[in-house]
Amino acid sequence: MWRGLGSSPCLWSTLDLRAHRCDAEVASSLASRCGGLQRLRLRGHEAAVAVASALGARDLREVVAEGCRGLTDATLAVLAARHEALESLQIGPDPLERISSDALRHVALCCSRLRRLHLSGLREADSDAIGALARYCPLLEDVALLDCGTVDEAALGDIHSLRFLSIAGCYNVKWATASASWAQLPLLVAVDVSRTDVSPNAVARLISHSKTLELICALNCKFVEEEQTHSPTAFSNSKGKLVLTITCPIFKSLASLFPGKDVEEHGVFNECNWRNKRKILGVMMNWLEWILSQSLLRIAECNPYGMDDFWLQQGTSMLLSLVKSSQEDVQERAATTIATFVVIDDETANVDAARSEAVMRDGGIPLLLDLARCSRAIANLSVNANVAKVVADEGGIAIFTNLAKSTNRLVAEEAAGGLWNLSVGEEHKAAIAAAGGIKALVDLIFRWPAGTDGVLERAAGALANLAADDKCSLEVAKAGGVHALVTLARSCKLEGVLEQAARALANLAAHGDNNNNNAAVGQEAGALEALVQLTCSQNEGVRQEAAGALWNLSFDDRNREAIAAAGGVEALVSLAQQCLNASEGLQERAAGALWGLSVSESNSIAIGQEGGVAPLLTMAQSEVEDVHETAAGALWNLAFYSSNAHRIVEEGGVPILVHLCSSSGSKMARFMSALALAYMFDGRMDEAAIVGTSSEGSSKGVNIEGARRMALKHIEIFVLTFSDPQVFSMAAASSAPAALSQVAEAVFIQEAGHLRCSGAEIGRFIAMLRNPTPVLRACAAFALLQFSIPGGRHATHHADLLQNVGAARVLRAAAAATSASIEAKVFARIVLRNLEHHQAGTST
């Protein structure tokens, strides 16, 4: 029974194919069930071709098509010839640039029952074509020729059945001819001339000469608005005819259409107010909703200057009223307009706060959440933090999560966009996870093929935001997010998707020791290779996020070596060389990734051999703290090895590091620059071999002794910036722990607690405590103080390393040395205290 019913030729009376691919094969498979089909909606000229040639719905009454920019005369002619019962044909808003007047004549000849004809972007509608409509379509009462090149305005006056006419967006109109011709139409009720250069005289002539006209809509018409501004009563003597402009109170004007009935201004679009009135009033209000939704969307897309007052004072309320329309296409356009008019810069997704809050203030959020088709509007509005809170409070997170599971790609795409914007707020991340949003987003990536960039970019972007939260990042991994994101990074070719996928992987790998996502990403097949490849992308955003991901991943020992094995050293050095004139974010991440890789000896030496020193020194001269601080960290690691120390000296690195050490606003940059200089001049670098040992094999004369004196002088100045003679004297003379604690608290660099040293590095600082140069002893003691302060992220690790090399004996000797500075002595005592604190903690 059910199978028989499913194959019934009269199964559908209405069919919406917009969300589905419709080609000739699909249309043929549907044909047997479309014998009774009367209304059809479709998207794309390919679907129009398929419907015209293969659907076989001979009794079709209404066709609404969008996205048909490629539609040709031949296809439109076949569509008309095979559907002679058509009463309504609407194709837009994309311009029909390939449709000529010949096709329009063919429609007139074939579709004699036509009542409504709405077409957008015709190059020309000449007198022959419009004349054919007048002769062969005696029932035609609604014509909209929107954004057309040329329209024969006089010929429109021959369509005597015409009640509603719109030529919105048409700019080659002879207005004197048009107004004289249209004023003679015997049934004309309403005219829409929005977004045109219509003259005030033409409007006045229509008002004066037309006996039946009730409404003229002239939104965003420059000359009419100027006339109203200059003379507010310009159209007041309108014989009961309404003229709607953006400068007039539209709701109040429309309320005058309901004499004898108490209609609230904002209730004029409520169908309850149209009942028991003239039939033509209800028809006119439906038409007005349609043309307003069209014009407001076009105005929002163009975002002309000076529209703020209109949107805030009445445009927002009007759109929310239209969202409640009984006409589905009006609802959709109103929702799309809300999504559009709140965005004032598409490239940066910059959202106008006042417009967003106007939607919220007028009760728009609950209203929009009730309509699945409004998900794009809610998504864009949610960029505003205040609106996002209301969306979440009204249950928007659960709604978006459910919509993200839709098999309709367009619905799922906008829902993912909503979750992306909501996930920016830290307070919403846990709620999204609790609602199942993470699993829904991961499933989206697997559900849609690589070509669907909109849904994939939004899903990856939302996961990137969520992955920045420690707990949510674990949920992302648990839901299969690592595999999904790596799949995108490996196989997708769309730059927006790749950027968000790389950002998500970077955030997944950014958490602490209690989160194993860093290792999990590295172990995912092809992940590191894909990220290394992405650093070579032509898109700066992709390169930046890929470098950021590699930086975070390099904190894991296995990842670090695997990145190098995948060509990461060469790729990142090349990126550093190429990005010196790029954005600060890209420079920071390129330097950071090299810093992370340079932790191991083989990688550090390879970075030097590949030419990594020079670009890092250039970035160390950046005025941006984040950039030069990160470059200083990489140079500190590189300087540990003599071959790199040689290169830094030869490349003119000593003055650069000295400048950082003495003048950077970042304590960390100054600290790491001082440590790099200490490595370079603690005696391990063979000074006699410096000249002629550059990586290029060329000799560069360097005054080593002068460089050494400069370096030691500024290391000393750096250390002394943390010294208070009075406090240090008291600490040196006292055995009370409080005195040392006061110094430790004053000199501690908070960010230094995140640095993790190897056993070799700790051993080098211990050896430096025995160096004959007092400045180096003070610098080494200062560094060990920073690394061993209780509470630091790696303090326990460093304390264990110090104990393993028997550091206590060396520290006691340094604290007692008569040749040591007071700073070196006090710092050494504090390190001893830190070790005692660690021992006490482990013994309990």
Residue ranges covered by each domain of the chain: 249-278+304-391, 725-843
Say if residues 255 and 281 touch (Cβ distance below 8 Å): no
Q: What is the DSSP string of 780-832?
A: HHHHHHHHH-TTSTTHHHHHHHHHHTTHHHHHHHHHH-TTS-HHHHHHHHHHH
Contact between 778 and 680 under an 8 Å Cβ cutoff? The reply is no
Nearest C-alpha neighbor of 466 from the set 415, 513, 422, 499: 422
Torsion of CA 430, 436, 438, 440, to 10 degrees: -160
Residues 6+ apart with CB under 8 A from 724: 746
- pLDDT for residue 1: 38
Token duo for residue 283: 């028809």
Alpha carbon 259 to its chain centroid, in Å, reads 49
pLDDT reported for residue 265: 61
Specify the amino acid at residue 313.
Q
- Regarding beta strands 350-351 and 343-345, do their DSSP bridges make them parallel or antiparallel, or are they unpaired? antiparallel
- Residue 194 near residue 293, CB atoms below 8 Å: no
Query: Taking the chain (844 residues) in consecutive chunks of 10 residues, what is each chunk's mean pLDDT?
Result: 48 83 86 88 90 85 93 94 95 94 96 97 95 97 96 96 97 94 96 96 92 94 89 71 90 80 68 66 92 94 87 91 89 88 72 86 78 63 74 84 85 88 90 95 86 85 96 95 95 94 95 81 94 96 97 93 96 97 97 97 96 98 97 98 95 97 96 97 68 44 85 96 91 85 93 93 96 96 96 92 94 92 94 90 64
338 three-class SS: helix
User: In the block, which residue shows the tokens 């007028």?
Assistant: 362
Residue pointed to by tokens 């055995």: 735
Alpha helices in 423-539 (DSSP H): 426-434, 437-447, 453-467, 470-478, 481-491, 495-508, 517-523, 527-534
Nearest residue to 710 via CA among 667, 666, 662, 663: 662
Tokens of 448: 């849609």
Q: Which two tokens stand for residue 664?
A: 């950077």
- Helix/strand/coil for 650: helix
Structure-token match 């004032």, residue found: 344
Helix axes 101-110, 127-136, angle to 10 degrees: 10
Helix (H, G, I), strand (E, B) or coil at 562: helix
Residue 774 C-alpha from the chain's centroid? 54
Residue 196 DSSP label: S
Sheet holding 142-146, edge to edge: 14-16, 39-43, 62-66, 88-91, 116-120, 142-146, 164-166, 190-192, 215-217, 242-244
Q: Which of 635, 577, 563 lies closest to 611 in space, CA to CA?
A: 577
- Say if residues 343 and 350 touch (Cβ distance below 8 Å): yes
The residue written with tokens 């992302």 in the block is 476
- The structure's pTM equals 0.75
